[in-house]
Structure 1
Amino acid sequence: MPHKLPTLPEPEIHHISPAEAVEHIQALLEAKQERVRQGPTWPGAVTTQPSPDTPDPHAPMPAAGGGLSSEAAFGHALAHERGDQSKRKG
């Protein structure tokens, strides 16, 4: 007969209220925002604040060619460069 191992008691689960959850999330968000305000902390990190004249590196780039997308501007030329690749041969 196999020897049965004793079972451990389940740890008691402590539930928090929705209001407590909101407080925790707000505290985490405030801590994150403070870290962002302080800037990067790794060695060699640049901690300068961007000036109003500096473009946002994360902002979307304006469309080139008077509003054409890159596919519209260059897609026609690329299709001709591919030549007969898409056609079946013999």
Structure 2
Amino acid sequence: MDDVLYISAQIRLAKGNDLLLAQGVIKFDQPYYVLNDDLETFSGVHVTDIFHSYEALKELFKKKRIYVPITNSNDYIDYRLKQVDLKGLSEKSKIQSIKN
């Protein structure tokens, strides 16, 4: 089929700091794949967001079923620069920060 594209990705088993900024604090916008129950195929790509369950991710992580794309260190630096600390901001400031 001409309208079907195939992609491939290099992935590795996730480490704790791939998905978390701190204990119990999920890193948003992190792509990841989940090893299915058959232990041969993956679901994804998924992306962490505000609606993700920390406990569900923690269980998958313990079972060694979360994989993340291999990226270069510059991607990580760019990601860290985009993080916004919303603690102590007014609601208006939070909304403005999220829009940017």
With the length of structure 1 as denominator, give the TM-score of the two structures: 0.25
Task: Select the structure that is richer in helix.
Answer: 1
Give the number of the structure with larger relative contact order, counting CA–CA contacts within 8 Å between residues 6 or more apart: 2
TM-score (norm 2): 0.23
Name whichever structure is richer in strand by fraction: 2
